[in-house]
Chain A
């Protein structure tokens, strides 16, 4: 279980290899890597900048990780999230979940991403030829996060 909030770029492949190393008790690992897009909704983006509130952001993400661990039968979780300026094509976020059986790992990674999108204490600003704009969660992001508050029997 680990949370890292950092300005430095990271190599998602290297993170996944390190996370998988020596993991003989796990039946599978699911990982997700979020990238900075070169365009959002038709707006070209030259730089994405994430503002974080250090000392507040990390504990909030750790609490999400604890919740994922309580909800799903995972053996280990890793969340790496960048802040500061991020160029298109660079990774912003990396989530990995290891479990004895795959379903828990898929669900934990999906759950964590939905929660990070709507609840992680970051504030995103896109800069492009059209100027700057702050990006807040889309309605679809809240809909995605809402899936996890539905009773379990409604989940497929």
Chain B
């Protein structure tokens, strides 16, 4: 089952943290478009500065292909400590 996760402020903007999206679009950019079509505020936040995407817990650089059981997470700027 494909899973999409929103971390940090993204989850408050969208009102959800984790969702099953089935079927998952074929690419990361298509997934971004789908999420933006559903929720413009989330779409704007996803394209904001410093927001990265991880596919199966590895940072995705640029657009990547997605497959049925992928886990995609959107990560705003990180801050520990």
List residues of chain A with CB under 8 Å of any chain B CB. 34, 50-51, 53, 55-56, 59, 61, 81, 92-93, 113, 116-125, 132, 134-137, 141
Contacts and interface: CB of A to CB of B under 8 A. Distances in A.
Given A53-B73, A56-B57, A56-B73, A120 B81 contact: yes
B44 to A, nearest CB: 15
A120 B7 CA distance: 13
A123 B8 CA distance: 5
Interface string B1-26: 00001011101100000000000000
Interface of B: 5, 7-9, 11-12, 50, 54, 57, 73, 75-81
A123 B54 CA distance: 15
Contact of B80 (A56, A122, A132, A134): A122
A124 B77 CA distance: 10
28 contacts: A34-B81, A51-B7, A51-B8, A53-B5, A53-B54, A53-B75, A56-B54, A56-B57, A56-B73, A113-B81, A118-B79, A120-B78, A120-B79, A120-B81, A121-B78, A121-B80, A123-B7, A123-B9, A123-B76, A123-B78, A124-B79, A132-B12, A134-B8, A136-B50, A136-B77, A137-B77, A137-B78, A141-B79
Nearest to A54: B57
A134 B5 contact: no
Given A116-B80, A122-B78, A137-B77, 6 more contacts: A116-B81, A120-B78, A121-B75, A122-B79, A122-B80, A136-B79
